[in-house]
Structure 1
Amino acid sequence: MNINIRELSEDLFLTTAKMITELMNYHRKLNNAPKKYWQTDEESKETLEYWKEEGTVYNVFLDDEAVGFFYVRFGGQNVAWLEDIFISEQYRGKGIGRFAMEKLDELMIEKEVVAMFVDVIPRNTSAIKLYKECGFDHLNLIQLRKNYDKKLDKDEEIDLLGFNFKKY
């Protein structure tokens, strides 16, 4: 399996924007968001322009075909934030994401990054599993949420550090 990552090129801008739409709407679906909140391709083009200004977008290639992307932001003290990773649905479950993460690790070491952070919603257990398998093993931050619209409340609960929370 020939997996590579390369910084976004202009010829892949629209392809990557469509992948962003798929990613954002995957998250909307996970959270049962009404369709009116789902992202359009036009919004994804704006998102991608913003990402290019704030960080770096890398496409993931299987041979010569773009099958996904990473969005990484770099910060002070040589740290990075993996803001988003996406592998097209038809390529998931084949180890491509894991191999791509290895290539990203090599790039971060080359750039002398000392630590990388990633945020993930607790409901996205497949992402948590991937990150854990790829070496993310330090719990850095806990983000809590308070729903004013009780229709957003979930039933599933999780115990974390001796506290009981609803799993969102």
Structure 2
Amino acid sequence: MSAVLNTQYQFRPMQLDDLDTIMVIEPQIYPYPWTRGNFSDSLSSGYSAWVLMLNDQIIGYSLMMLVLDEAHLLNLSVAKPYQKQGLGRTLLEHMVSIAKSNQMANMFLEVRPSNISAIALYENMGFNEMAVRRGYYPAANGREDAVLMGLAL
């Protein structure tokens, strides 16, 4: 596993009180960030939502919807100063572990085709491209497609 994860890093379930910090991180890493409502709705819906902590500071977070035997990864984010250190992989490994522990058969996600580093991470973790969702994401020139990826658990 990555040498980055040590005793300073911890996962814990996301709470409503975390949203102030998350709402600072989210627009720093996405041109079209989730809203506070997206996060609070996900929490109130009972989605599996986790934060990655370093010394009591949120440095990453992820949310996943579990339905029947399918896990749908909705958001996987690492604060800008902590990117490119293997923490995205650490978060993804955690979410895959949560999905497996909930006896999910498959995990799905959407990713922008322009997000080359995320696609590389997902492929490295065994995800495969399944389809393209046309016009899925907002973009500067209108809409951007999404690549639908899946992983058999």
1:45-101: CA deviation from partner (whole Å, max 9, x where unpaired): 22221121332321122354310110111112x111101110000000111111222
Give % identity: 20
Q: Which one of the candidate residues 93, 100, 106 is aligned to 1:115? A: 106
CA distance in 1, matches of 2:95, 2:142: 36
In the alignment, which residue of structure 1 is the partner of 2:76? 85
* Contact 1:59 1:69 survives alignment (8 Å): yes
Is 1:27 paired with 2:16? no
As a proportion of its length, which structure holds more strand? 2
In the alignment, which residue of structure 2 is the partner of 1:62? 54
1:20-69: CA deviation from partner (whole Å, max 9, x where unpaired): 3334xx234xxxxxxxxxx6xxx832222112133232112235431011
RMSD (CA atoms): 2.6
Q: Which one of the candidate residues 7, 10, 15 is aligned to 1:4? A: 10
> Which runs of no fewer than 5 residues in structure 2 stay unpaired?
144-153
SS at match of 1:12: helix
After the TM superposition, which segments of 4 or more aligned residues of structure 1 sit over 6 Å from their partners?
none
1:103-162: CA deviation from partner (whole Å, max 9, x where unpaired): 22222111111111010111111111111112212x2222124xxxxx9389xxxxxxxx
CA distance in 2, matches of 1:27, 1:126: 16
In the alignment, which residue of structure 1 is the partner of 2:148? none
Larger Rg: 1
CA distance in 2, matches of 1:5, 1:110: 15
Q: 1:14 to 1:128 in 2, by over 3 A?
A: same
Which amino acid in the other structure matches residue 50 of structure 1? Answer: D
> Which runs of no fewer than 5 residues in structure 1 stay unpaired?
29-38, 146-150, 155-168
Matches within 5 A, 1:11-160: 11-23=17-29, 26-28=30-32, 44-54=35-45, 55-76=47-68, 78-137=69-128, 139-145=129-135, 152=141
SS at match of 1:93: coil
CA distance in 2, matches of 1:122, 1:10: 31
As a proportion of its length, which structure holds more helix? 1
CA distance in 2, matches of 1:111, 1:48: 21
TM-score by length of 1: 0.68
SS at match of 2:134: coil
CA distance in 2, matches of 1:50, 1:116: 21
